[in-house]
Amino acid sequence: MTVLVPPYDVPPGRHPWVELTVADRTALRALRLPHGIRTATVLVRLTQADRALTLTVRPEWAPLLSLLARVDGAGCETELVFASPVPVHAVVAELGRQSVWPDRVGQRGLVVAGEERGKVPADVDPAFVAATVRAGVTDPDPVLALGPMDDRVLNPIGFTTDAQGPVLRLRAEHRGLPPESLVTSWRALLGMQVTPEADPRMVAGLAMAGLPLVAEVLAADLARSLGVLVAAAITAPVDLHDPLAREEHSVVLRRAALSTFATATWRRRLGEASGVRVHHQPSVSVVMATRRPELLTHAVAQVARQRGVEALELVLVPHGFDVPPGLERSLGEGLDLRVVPAPAEEVFGDVLNRGVGAAGGDVVLKMDDDDWYGPDFVADLLLARAYSGAELVGTPDDWHYLEPRHLTLRLGSPVEDYKQFVAGGTMLLDIGLLRELGGFRSVPRAVDAQLIGAVRAAGGAIYRTPGLGYLMRKTEAGHTWVEDLDAAVVRAATTYDGFRPSRLVGLSPT
């Protein structure tokens, strides 16, 4: 048996059996083993894991003869037996890649594969740049030196809104990236007090995971390492005993941390430091159909106020009317706007497909013409798409404004989890996938449910991120549905008098 331990200086060649032990999925996915070690039997142990790991073998490997994956009191282990020796570094990397919901692309952003490092200038090699800034050889960027951090593991999936535990002080002995088991055990806490001696990597990792972190002031070195956005989010005043304020605080904090330390965003920062252009986000096409000319200004304004998105266009599909040229010019000022009219007799699914046909983005986001969207709505969906790996991402229809009753309702829908439903005005997915599914169904109503069903039937996952930045407008009759307002009130977990959106929508009650 050959046991791999750091610094992994095992001689290349064939080995009868190779065993590897790491702490958790974070450590497994970050591991880079030397090339040249081959075996027919690989055993991988995770000492701080609560789930068994399996994988689908790559087509270039030898056939898999057996796979044993189990969880016991000492963590989990996966044993793989192949018909002939396979490259151990590739098997371990694939096991880490497949330990999260599909990671077809893997490490996104600026990537230099191990085999290519000798062929790439040193200022482009992520490992070289990271080591350089950590050693202080160049003028160090403390934020760059702290990352990157794996957002496929360190993310808010599993965040709970009904935490009852106390506020825990983050002690000096809490060091390094937080293990998965620790994050899971701390989910029940109301929050965590960041002390002056706190380790910045622990703080950044917990912030990415959505744990509510608070501090009146941060130590100067800690604040520099965390960056302006994360430091400001931690020190923002909040009452953690107010469930809504606690969740809003968590969303702002996780957004700041993921936008600073997640793999793709960190590599964008690395690219900027080394003079390499990096696109860390897909381009977004918002497809919006409307048959209500009186809502045009409102509808376009919801898209125009979006921020934190590299490339965003609006494909507006007026259904049964034409937008006057002067109004089109004024609406599109400062916005990449395409107008694609549809005849009045066309069914709603076909109207939406007109917009999809004109879309030029990597992903399509369906937005509705009468609802309110916070300025970070699209950016939050892109973050959720990255850390969840889900084929379709959206929010629940959690917040409703009943216009005839002048009431705001919150349903209390579960979030930060893989679910079977998201609100139709929040659905984001790859344009290639949408076209492979045949686009929206040619039906007059229920187009949202039809699309969600098609994604699930194709084997895709649906992920639901918080709806705090989305407010549905409810009237007596909608575009494709009729709403029973009394039934909506009965379903509400919380009722507010007047117009009372979450503060993340970015609108005052007036």
The rounded distance, in Å, linking the Cα atoms of 197 and 169 is 11
Q: Is 407 helix (H, G, I), strand (E, B) or coil?
A: strand
What integer is the mean pLDDT of 49-57? 92
Element (H, E) at 485: helix 485-491
pLDDT digits 0-9 by tens, 378-406: 999 999 999 999 999 999 999 999 999 99
Which residue reads 């095992």 in tokens?
10
The rounded distance, in Å, linking the Cα atoms of 353 and 440 is 6
207 and 186 Cβ atoms separated by less than 8 Å:
no
> Phi and psi of 67, rounded to 5°?
-140, 125
322 and 311 Cβ atoms separated by less than 8 Å:
no
Q: Which residues contact 192 (CB under 8 A, 6 or more apart)?
A: 167, 168, 169, 170, 186, 206, 211, 212, 213, 214
pLDDT digits 0-9 by tens, 467-486: 999 999 988 765 445 567 77
Domain spans of the chain? Answer: 2-99, 165-261, 284-505
The rounded distance, in Å, linking the Cα atoms of 224 and 256 is 14
* pLDDT score, position 104: 55
The rounded distance, in Å, linking the Cα atoms of 458 and 401 is 34
Element (H, E) at 288: strand 284-290
Count helices and strands (H / E) in the chain. Answer: 17, 22
Helix H, strand E, coil C: the string for 214-270 is: ECCCCCHHHHHHHCHHHHHHHHCCCCCCCHHHHHHHHHHHHHHHHHHHEHHHHHHHH
> Phi and psi of 170, rounded to 5°?
-80, 110
The rounded distance, in Å, linking the Cα atoms of 124 and 134 is 16
pLDDT digits 0-9 by tens, 369-380: 999 999 999 999
- Largest pairwise CA distance in the chain: 76
pLDDT band at 346 (very low <50, low <70, confident <90, very high): very high
Please state which of the ranges 110-119, 256-265, 276-285, 418-427 shows the lowest mean pLDDT: 110-119
What is the value of pTM for the model shown?
A: 0.90
Both tokens of 387, joined, read 């850390």
31 and 92 Cβ atoms separated by less than 8 Å:
yes
Asked whether the predicted pLDDT for residue 341 surpasses 80, the reply is yes
Could you list the beta-strand ranges (E) of 450-502. Answer: 462-464, 470-474, 494-497
Q: How many CA atoms lie less than 13 Å away from 73 in the CB half-sphere?
A: 0
Chain-centre distance for alpha carbon 86? 33
Burial class (CB in 10 A: 0-12, 13-18, 19+), 416: buried
pLDDT digits 0-9 by tens, 91-121: 999 999 999 998 654 445 545 555 544 444 4
What integer is the mean pLDDT of 294-299? 94
* pLDDT score, position 53: 96
The rounded distance, in Å, linking the Cα atoms of 243 and 505 is 17
pLDDT greater at residue 249 or residue 113: 249
pLDDT band at 455 (very low <50, low <70, confident <90, very high): very high
The rounded distance, in Å, linking the Cα atoms of 10 and 120 is 26
What percentage of the chain exceeds 90 in pLDDT?
Answer: 75
> Phi and psi of 348, rounded to 5°?
-60, -40
470 and 505 Cβ atoms separated by less than 8 Å:
yes
* pLDDT score, position 305: 95
* pLDDT score, position 132: 47
Give the CATH fold of the 284-505 domain. Spore Coat Polysaccharide Biosynthesis Protein SpsA; Chain A (3.90.550)
